[in-house]
Structure 1
């Protein structure tokens, strides 16, 4: 392979590159090249120079192909293009390893989680995660004299929440936590629609609710239909609502929401499915929604230790957000302790297995409705309590929630789209 020759030739021309590279002998295809690279690494570790003369004194010199082969390698070498050669060798190794993993998985009947974990490990091997401080400072130098607009994230459709968070940000994980039936799924559907109408690609992983229910909620909240009517549309909708129906279908279709409703999905599976969607919709940036945290399957069982499982999942969610450079919004259940307090508004400790979640999340939002606890209340206010905001203030954001249609609106009672 020419890239391997160019890489080795560059080492011969610039010995210091051997200490800088992450390429290992097993990354190379040619057995002769693997042996030569290992020899170069060993000699460099002993403080010796690497050149054709010094290599020619070794007992196994002919195993490398002799003088003619080393001269051939050196002719391909170019220290200035070394980074390109590294990238090429690594990419070829990745493809080769993926095929090896798939073959081994088929022969040994691996479970899907093990396959996905191994494949993700290959995908994450990269060379482009380095930035020198000089490079980082170039864009900052003129900043005090240059007017620059603040980069907004994915807008939420709730003005005060946008002001506090600047929207959902790339590479950040948001946890939305509440007790069952508080409105978590409707809030996620609201955020997903907002993202879709802004030109993003909302990907919903619904680990509990089937796709048909998600679709019904999307239509009901968009059209302002009572969800009870969705059970029998022919009899449930009025003539006026039926006239609106085609427009509602079109409006929801414009969101380009993608729904995966398989139970017990792992983060590795979600990554693979997200990658497929990204390739399918190259003009749209993804935003990932997961319903909900403790239904995600961990890659390891950890003897049934829920804390360790959630810790792994939490870190993997953060890794997924960084890998796709997109927001990840994940729902979480609160434990029963909140029910036993006089003050029902949630706290961090109410999140199930909260330690790792609290640490890894960039934004934590609790949901609270007075009407949930006081059935005599006529309030339709849904509080979004921003309890953690890594890059901004915390506080309570009121919104209006129609529990019959699932629609979320701003406190001004204006439809957000």
Structure 2
């Protein structure tokens, strides 16, 4: 029953979990917990805040186990671990339902196919993944005859990259990988702000860089301010640059970018934070960006690094599908790149490349020849699409200003 208490306590702390959990009253084992959850749902449906006071003043405290019992639920709250507690609770429910099915099947002599069907239905009662081909076909029956709005992904505003991918697609995991100092973080911020300007809700999980550092990078690239001058804007920015400062701040505020910069975050923690942001900004679909892959914390410390990364990439892909939004994750490349004459990255240069290559829908490598030649006149950045599950591969080009961090797609008005 501890898992049930943790689920209810977390719901009291964060009310959006009441509906997001997808739970039914019948999935609670404790009769008091059933009443508490039903009471929570009724309050939520009425548009009221669900807390200790509203529960006890709206319903009979005796039915809810008493004031002290409801108050005690809060001590079990752990929002970051909510998914784990929810799954533990559902495991108990599934076992309970399984025993019930087997008992009734024995009494009524059910055929084996009915038993198997009932057991399969129990396995995941929260989300139905069943579709009939007739229903799916009806959805597209009129497509050749009726003009419909084509829903594009969130565009990077980098000409050929957008052509190849049609923008970053909902439900897809994209890996952007490069060696250090190639401009990964600047590309991520470029993608984030353009997603924001397109009406998305960019959510950046920065596991290495602080939120203030990312803010300053956004200001520099958007306002075309030299990062060196950004160290002391009062003394080092020109009069015209200072005039552009407020305009740049206003423009960036329109993106609604959200930052979470705590190190060692797990994918489960990220999911909880994304859910909270979705409820705070109901009109915007999320766009998740993570810097970077191997800094994501795995709770399974007993496995090898390869298995950890494999599990994390699967969880990231699951998160993209769960929230039906793009997930873009930065990744480092191995030093093997440096040993070759042509230093353009290959798939094998990805650290723990097997699992990343398998789970990612799109893999983009960044390469700047100027990093190796030290040619200050060469500002070309190559964005090499090496994997594209639903489109072509190829190379897009952008102009990259290493002093401001600005990225401009060549041949576009970005």
- What interval of TM-score do these two structures reach, taking the shorter chain for normalisation? 0.7 to 0.9
Contiguous gaps of at least 5 residues in structure 1:
1-21, 34-84
Q: Distance in 2 between matches of 1:133 and 1:28?
A: 37
Give the Cα separation in 2 of the matches to 1:157 and 1:174.
Answer: 16
Q: Which residue of 2 aligns with 1:190?
A: 190
- Aligned partner of 1:350 in structure 2 is 349
Which has the higher mean CA deviation after the structures are superposed, 213-222 or 125-134?
125-134
Q: How many residues align?
A: 330
Q: Which residue of structure 1 aligns with residue 244 of structure 2?
A: 244
Q: How many angstroms apart in 2 are the aligned matches of 1:240 and 1:415?
A: 23
Structure 1 equivalent of residue 372 of structure 2? 373
Give how far 1:141 is off. Answer: 2.0
Q: Is the contact between residue 81 and residue 269 of structure 2 (CA under 8 Å) also seen in structure 1?
A: no
Q: Which moved more, 1:118-127 or 1:361-370?
A: 118-127
CA contact (8 A) 1:117 1:299 kept: no
User: Residues 325, 122 of structure 1: CA spacing in aligned structure 2 closer, same or farther, 3 A cutoff?
Assistant: farther
Q: The residue matched to 1:366 in structure 2 has which SS?
A: strand
> Which residue does 2:282 correspond to in 1?
282
Matches within 5 A, 1:5-404: 27=28, 30=31, 116-119=83-86, 126-303=126-303, 305-376=304-375, 378-404=377-403
* Distance of 1:284 and 1:104 partners within structure 2: 33
For 1:122 and 1:346, locate their aligned partners in 2 and report how far apart those are by CA, in whole Å.
Answer: 45
Change in CA separation of 1:347 and 1:105 when aligned onto 2, cut-off 3 Å: farther
The question of whether the paired residues in 2 share the 8 Å contact of 1:399 and 1:408 is answered with yes
Q: Secondary structure at the match of 1:151?
A: coil
Residue 28 of structure 1: how far off its partner (Å): 5.3
C-alpha displacement at 1:411, in angstroms?
1.0
Change (3 A) 1:219 1:282: same
Shift of 1:362: 0.5
Between the aligned partners of 1:245 and 1:223, the Cα distance in structure 2 is 7
Q: Deviations over 1:134-159 (max 9, x none)?
A: 21111122233334453210011112
CA contact (8 A) 2:160 2:395 kept: no
Aligned-pair distance for 1:27? 4.3
Distance 2:377 2:355 in 1: 37
- Secondary structure in structure 1 of the residue aligned to 2:187: helix
Change (3 A) 1:24 1:244: closer
More off after superposition, 333-342 vs 150-159: 150-159
For 1:254-285, what per-residue CA distance to the aligned partner results, in whole angstroms no more than 9, with x for missing partners? 11000110001000000001111100000111
* CA pair 103-165 structure 1, distance change in 2 beyond 3 A: farther
Change over 3 Å in CA distance of 1:348–1:125 after alignment to 2: farther
> Where does the alignment leave 5 or more consecutive residues of structure 2 unmatched?
1-22, 45-63, 91-123
2:98 corresponds in structure 1 to none
The structural deviation recorded for 1:120 is: 6.6
CA distance in 2, matches of 1:255, 1:206: 17
SS of aligned partner of 1:157: coil
Aligned to 1:177, the other structure's residue is in SS state strand
> Offset at 1:235?
0.8
SS in structure 2 at match of 1:387: strand
Provide the rounded CA distance (Å) in 1 between the counterparts of 2:290 and 2:224. Answer: 24
Deviation at 1:30, TM superposition (A): 4.7
Query: Which digits, 9 at most, give the CA deviation of each residue in 1:284-318, with x for residues without a partner?
Result: 11000000000000121134x10010011000001
The answer for the alignment partner of 1:65 in structure 2 is none
Q: For residues 120 and 387 of structure 1, do their structure 2 counterparts lie closer, same or farther at Cα, with a shift above 3 Å needed?
A: farther
Q: Secondary structure at the match of 1:228?
A: helix
Q: Cα gap change, 1:353/1:248 in structure 2, threshold over 3 Å: closer, same or farther?
A: same
Q: Cα deviations across residues 162-216 of structure 1 (Å, max 9, x unaligned)?
A: 1110000000000000001100000000000100001110000000000111000
Query: The residue matched to 1:117 in structure 2 has which SS?
Result: helix
| Alpha-carbon distance in structure 1 between the residues aligned to 2:145 and 2:214 | 49
TM-score where L is the length of structure 1: 0.73
Change (3 A) 1:25 1:197: closer
Between structure 1 and structure 2, the one with the greater Rg is 1
Contact 2:219 2:248 in 1 (8 A): yes
Q: Displacement, 1:373?
A: 1.1
* 1:198/1:116 CA distance change after superposition, 3 Å: same
Deviation at 1:114, TM superposition (A): 5.1
Change (3 A) 1:120 1:332: farther
Give the TM-score, by structure 2 length: 0.73
The 1:345/1:104 distance shift into structure 2, 3 A limit, reads farther
